[in-house]
Structure 1
Amino acid sequence: MSQRRAMALVGTLGLVGALVSVIPATAGGAPAGPAAAGPRWTACPKDVVVPPTVQLPVQCATVPVPLDYQDPDGTQIELMVSRIASTKPEKRRGVLMFNPGGPGGTGLDQPAFLVSKGLPTGVTDAYDLIGMDTRGVGHSSPVSCGFTADDAYWANIPPYAPDDAAVVRQAEIAEDVAERCAANDTEGRLRHLTTANMARDLDRIRAALGEKTASFYGASYGSALGAAYTSMFPATTDRVVLDSIVGDTHLDQAGLRRFALGMEQTLPDFAAWAAKRHESYGLGRTPRQVRRTYLTLAERLDETPAADGLTGAVFRQITFGSLYNPIQYPSLARIWQTYLNPGEAPRAKAATAPNPQDNALTVFLAVTCNDVAWPEDVDTYRRAVAQDRKRFPLFGAASANITPCAFWTHEPAQPPVAVNDKGPRNVLILQNRHDPVTPLAGGRLLREKFEKRSRLVTVDGSGHGVYVLGGNACALNLATSYLVDGTMPAGNRTCRRG
């Protein structure tokens, strides 16, 4: 899940059987050659947001890629990419491609978004910034499961299951979702939405742009895509920065369950903040009391939803999403305060209920379910939920709960991409110590898998996202120096707060 999508929430997986390895995921095939003609750059669609503070022009173009890389001359789909071109040819190094996370989040506006948030001019001088909607997303041959506003399935993280019966009920919802996705897949596109294919798309885009190599910045799920990309195409990836780490090239059941660990490690930061402001919000005078307030509120809403329909599951989801950035702490404190004092006027349901996004949810499901085999047995999830409810009481019974991947129509076409530790030392990993969705454990896992190819920068910070958005001077300087000058830290680094 991207940071921007989680911020909007205050309001992300199976199949058992033989994997047919037709195309080796680790090889990726030969790098795509240079395109005969470059993309035709024009004005972007009106829904591509360019903040008014961004003075650099943003253009868009389409790049054709095979729907099925096993049949490269067969059906083609179009991917839309965006560009903020370097205005300093004497300093230009090449292209820097972006992925903001998801999977399923639009990325056409990512370059302009980061420029508006303070992406250093050294980076904008050195690179053409390339955003994109990955296959299936937005303007890139979009897909749909047909989700509607009143669907019981409303988020890419399953709802918290307060008891065993809730897991069984969620299994029925998950099975219905999987069946509807299959029924709506009339063009047969869903099976081709995988991280491996998205990585192949990146190399096709590189070739279409006429570049021998391409650099990459990916955050959240973008870290998994970037890890797959540089593993499959080590010869054509240049400088790679991975931020807020999933832990591998895909999200699997273990990765999803780590969300609960992340919340256990990150909620104390909010609790300490709220305890210092007890006189204003009344959530507890100590962090321990604030934690108890959370559990009390969640359990009360499990038993009796609020007048506006808010349930314990949604309350937990809102709290989880609000931990993505400390800037959201005041809003979160007010939400808690409102439901802690039910005599006050309740918030309108539209302000707290999740807003389903059909396309984003569809792509999330397709990629996560297609990438790796998920347990099919409902009892596996029942045991996991019971275990994680005790291990991680804040959120464990949500992230361990069953998803539509348990009933997905398609088996993975190939094994997940294996991290390739043979290649240039070109992977810089950025990770906050406290991150609700991609905890530090994920950063350490990926660092170990890349071995000598990578360096890990651990930031003594809280939230989801380090580079530019995280506000840490040390991490900003290290990543910028690497992107601009190629200066990779000699070893793993730790950045203090500030």
Structure 2
Amino acid sequence: MKRRRGTGRGLALVLSLGLSGSLAQAPAGADERQEPRTPQTPKVQWSGCPEDVVAEAVPSVLECATVPVPLDYADPGGTRIDLKISRLASTAPEKRRGTLMLNPGGPGGSGLALSSLLVAQGLPSSVTDSYDLIGMDTRGVGHSSPVSCGFTEDGPYFANLPAYAVDDAAVTARAKVAEEVAEQCARNDSDGRLRHMTTANTARDLDRIRAALGEEKTSYLGYSYGTALGAAYASMFPERSDRIVLDSNIGDTHLDRDGLRRYALGMEETFPAFAKWAAARHDSYGLGRTPAQVRETYFTIAERLDEKPTADGWTGQHFRIAAFGFLFKKSQYSQLAQLWQTLDSGDATASTDLLPENAASGGALSPADNSLTVFLSVTCNDVEWPEDVDTYRKGVAEDRERYPMYGAAAANITPCAFWPHAPAEKPVAVNDEGPQNVLLVQNLRDVPTPLAGGKLLREKFADRSRLLTVDDSGHGAYVLGPNSCALNTTTRYLVEGEMPAEDTHCRAD
């Protein structure tokens, strides 16, 4: 995190946080949408990047460009939108083998400066020599024809996860908020762009970018939701996909209700690592002398805040979201323990900057508005969501028992139940017919994308893929994690094309 101010909203964004017959299962006209009969895509003209991207990329120096694409691939001659892309070019022409497109996840995350982030985290020079690293703001995001639902700082929607439902009545109450959010997005969509925010269209955009770069194929590295996008691209354009790395997998080409409910599974599987860490530091933080006691402390604090929020605004919902978000990285464990210690003492004055801003903000547009909007649009447009509130009420009851730490949040109702647009096409089906070029990288313990997601995608890609599991906790294994085996195995694949002969497990360092 760059700064503590607004971390509550930052955590919320983190929560918003790559089989045969895909063409056969696609609706009529899918072939035309994949390869529309339009004039050749103009070549990229590189120039300087926007000031915010320049500042974020320091000390790396990036070039930027725009690529025009159809808003609606079913109408390729109609309205066009501009996508902003970035390049960290290889400085070793004799070693360069092509482009490596990058995606940080979301949907809704800006990726223009992702190359610089990965380099700062230690991306091997053999990778930066082998590829021009291509970052981007995908359609609707940031500098790429951004969309907005008009979410304000004092509004009820500040996180891309439903609120924790403390009881059955809370599901009904949240349904009203979800319906209002969907209606708000519809009112603000004056130019009709939201319905075209889909994973399939974004995958088509990737292929337009590939063509504009003059490449016959492109490699790809995507994290979190980026695995859904990468899986969609490799499925829709198998012969134009080169080396594909999908890290922290959601399990399909889209996020659906089952995928969202797996967030609760991920928290149950990841929390024991924090509980063990905190128990070993009981004398410092006082959260429990055993992992079981630390877990009990979690429920004690959450339930107390459910009944009586702090004077400065901490509720059980905020506490659970903070715990969920801080478990993304082991490096954040000390911050999480400090927060718990503060709340457990009943004095939350030191942690108010972790909360979303209060209603005193005067209704200003939220800095998270764009990311929240893109997440909702893509997630709701990709696949049909249940519309019956009773379906969510039942799911919450089930998952409160199965996954007591977070199940009653992840299973709760979302604005997708009331979304104004039905999916324009079926979700992209994973295509297992194509080159063996998909490396799935997966930590064993990962909050939003548990191991189950990696296993699901491995099964769907079949022999096209290999699964690299890593005995570690956290969201993101390649470069973003410390495991040497994961780093070496993935780098060998990207640079040398050496795919593991079989599924591989990396032991903890």
- TM-score tier after normalising by the smaller chain length: over 0.9
**Equivalents in 2 of 1:138, 1:443: separation in Å?**
29
- Name the CA distance, whole Å, in 2 between partners of 1:115 and 1:192: 33
Aligned to 1:30: 35
Matched, 1:40 2:42: no
Residue 469 (structure 2) aligns with: 458
Question: Structure 2 residue aligned with 1:339, among 334, 343, 348?
Answer: 343
Distance across 2 between alignment mates of 1:237 and 1:83: 19
Q: What secondary structure sits across from 2:442 in the alignment?
A: strand
User: 1:26-175 maps to which residues of 2 (within 5 A)?
Assistant: 29-30=34-35, 35=40, 37-49=42-54, 54-55=59-60, 57-175=61-179
Compute the displacement of 1:472 (Å): 0.6
Return the match for 2:369 from 358, 368, 374.
358
Q: Could you say what secondary structure the match of 2:51 adopts?
A: coil
Whether 2:322 is the aligned partner of 1:329: answer no
Bigger share in helix: 2
1:185 paired with 2:196, answer no
Letter in 2 for 1:305: P
Q: What's the offset of the Cα at 1:327?
A: 0.2
Matched residue of 2:350: which SS?
Answer: coil
2:69·2:81 contact (CA, 8 Å) conserved in 1?
yes
Per the alignment, residue 16 of structure 1 pairs with none
Give the CA deviation at 1:347: 2.7
Over aligned residue pairs, what C-alpha RMSD do you find? 2.1
> More displaced, 194-203 or 346-355?
346-355
Report the alpha carbon displacement of residue 349 of structure 1 after superposing the two structures with TM.
2.8
Q: What is the CA deviation profile of residues 106-130 of structure 1, one whole-angstrom value per residue up to 9, with x for unaligned ones?
A: 0101011111111100000000000
Instruction: Confirm or deny: 8 A CA contact 1:31 1:236 kept in the other structure.
Output: no
Unaligned runs of 5+ in 1: 14-18
How many angstroms does 1:348 deviate by? 4.9
1:448 aligns with 2:459: yes
- 3-state secondary structure, aligned to 2:101: strand
Taking a change above 3 Å as real, the CA distance of residues 23 and 155 of structure 1, as seen in their structure-2 partners, is: farther
Matched, 1:403 2:444: no
Aligned to 1:490: 501
Kindly indicate whether the alpha-carbon contact (under 8 Å) linking 1:246 and 1:443 is maintained by their aligned counterparts in 2: yes
Change (3 A) 1:149 1:7: closer
2:489 is matched with 478
| Residue 159 of structure 1: how far off its partner (Å) | 1.0
SS at match of 1:470: coil
- CA deviation profile, 1:317-342 (whole Å, cap 9, x unmatched): 00000000000000000000001001
Deviation at 1:39, TM superposition (A): 1.3
CA distance in 1, matches of 2:200, 2:236: 8
Q: Would the aligned equivalents of 2:477 and 2:483 in 1 still touch at CA under 8 Å?
A: yes
Q: Normalising by structure 1, what TM-score? A: 0.94
Question: Could you tell me how far apart the structure 1 residues matched to 2:37 and 2:94 are?
Answer: 27
How far 1:28 sits from its partner (Å)? Answer: 5.8
The 3-state SS of whatever aligns with 1:239 is: strand
Paired AA for residue 252 in structure 1: D
Deviation of the 1:29 alpha carbon: 2.5
* Alpha-carbon distance between aligned partners in 1 of 2:84 and 2:265, rounded to the nearest angstrom: 36
Matches within 5 A, 1:225-240: 225-240=229-244
Structure 2 gap ranges (5+): 17-24, 358-365
Q: TM-score, normalised by structure 2?
A: 0.92
Single out whichever of 214-223 and 28-37 deviates more from structure 2. 28-37
Aligned-partner Cα distance in 2 for 1:214–1:348: 45
| Equivalent pair of 2:43/2:212 in contact (CA under 8 Å) | yes
- Aligned counterpart in structure 2 of residue 317 of structure 1, from 321, 326, 333: 321
Matched, 1:369 2:380: yes
Shift of 1:352: 2.7
| Structure 1 counterpart of 2:11 | 9
1:386 aligns with 2:370: no
What is the rounded CA distance, in whole Å, between the counterparts of 1:49 and 1:433 in structure 2? 35
> Matched residues in 1 for 2:33 and 2:79: separation?
19
Identical aligned residues as a percent: 63
> Aligned partner of 1:234: which letter?
P
